[in-house]
Chains A and B, each alone.
Chain A
């Protein structure tokens, strides 16, 4: 479904003025249709930049992205029609309620949609006339996903959707993601929550310093890399894998 070859993105180096560094450094991805694919990595690993290149929001310095047999360089607007994107920041126009915002996003795809039906899907039908600012953290994330669903996308990109949510809201969102996946939607999710990745994803790529350092199913990653246990679990978890691969020093 998604094929990225040799992706490269250069940014000015904040610690070394005048120099560039590779925020994304020659990444290859092959994401099959119908799976939940997790992109894991410490802060600053290049997850969001990679995602933005896949979504057509960021220029690709080198390499190519093919989604549903279309090259994003040649067909950016065609690809935007078949993907849904949930961004990390969740700000919308002022003074518009959820229903109006959903209708607006639908119209940007030239589609008329039943806003209330879509809001019911993310359990926000009772908030149809509320403003986004009046929502709780979990409700905001669910609304953000609802906005990404207006075009009934083939691929849904979620950028750290559960960061800052309480356990109930997190579980609730996971259920929503699994429901969507069961309907056949391919989902690409970035996270640094290992529990989330293990619970949701059929395949995981671990990124560090702009490169992919491991890519496999959670089970295989654990059996391969969780040899040094950091948690109390007997068999090892994805967190062991993550820490063994990316090291222990702080990444802020």
Chain B
């Protein structure tokens, strides 16, 4: 299937990679840090830091403060309005709740004031909701009323989906993109600048031999790196790959091919080592934002969504997510798979059409 020169060249690329201690170290460090971050932040949602000013001396206010203090959602600091305001401005408090003097059973409606720093609080709505819910349950308890309704959340997919379950396939896709583009694009420019490509093409090997050997070597490296992350994620973060590992690896291999080809294409566009960086950034950075890695594409403005959905990283991320989260097999024909196949075709065309074989030297 592969010729001897192709296999030998691929083994050389592997050898070069594994002898580069520094890149080896960092390529293993990144997944470790990534897993570590989620391992330690998985426990419970962070408490909302709430400052409380009690201006009332009523028994009700005393009870109320006691109950707010017992509410697990809040980390409560009791103090004066002035001192808490300073803390709020410094960002040490998320909000300040002020219990007014008139807060008593006798008053009609006890008005509570909530002070927020709008520039620091991005989820005002969420905090307000949380406060309202807490206040309501506190009120019920004080008035001794049983709640009339209870809302229980049920996922239609009938399994617990955490943020990490959504995030991991996206992160895998993003890492894959970076590893591949660095592995082909950056290398090509460097090999060309140093005359190494020219030296290679003095011998009877053909361009396709060179491409195949780099793809083989990089594929193996990427699979090892992805395996490290997956092993950690499955064992430490209890990630489940519903569609099975073979399908997931299949999708990883297809993605590797797409991004290696895009890397070859960018490497032929860039004439110098300096210009490859901005060119690569231009391609990868918008995809990081638009491809639904950290939040679903549906949360983007409607106009952008169709474009975002067609980006290669989006296609790959949703392909991996289909397999990992929704238990779809690699061979299930859906929009994502068609997108992946289209990108394989486009990227291969770009790589082969733009690679200037004769101009192997700068």
Contacts and interface: CB of A to CB of B under 8 A. Distances in A.
Contacts, number: 72
A96 B196 CA distance: 13
Contacts of B16: 93-96
Contacts of B202: 55, 57, 80, 85, 87, 148
Interface in B1-32: 3-5, 8-9, 12, 15-16, 19-20
A105 interface: yes
Contact of B20 (A87, A95, A103, A151): A95
B196 A108 contact: no
B19 A104 contact: no
Q: Which of A85, A107, A148 has the most CB of B within 10 A?
A: A107
Interface residues of B, number: 25
B200 interface: yes
A108 B19 contact: no
A104 B203 CA distance: 11
A81 B206 CA distance: 12
B271 interface: no
Nearest to A107: B8
Given A93-B16, A95-B16, A108 B358 contact: no
A46 B211 CA distance: 32
B203 to A, nearest CB: 4
A89 interface: yes
A108 to B, nearest CB: 4
Interface of B: 3-5, 8-9, 12, 15-16, 19-20, 194-196, 198-206, 358, 360-361
Interface of A: 55, 57-59, 77-78, 80-81, 85, 87, 89-96, 100, 103-105, 107-110, 147-148, 151
Which 7 A-B residue pairs are closest in the complex by CB-CB distance?
A107-B8, A89-B195, A91-B194, A108-B203, A95-B19, A85-B202, A80-B204
Given A78-B204, A107-B5, A108-B205, 6 more contacts: A81-B204, A89-B361, A91-B194, A93-B16, A100-B15, A108-B204
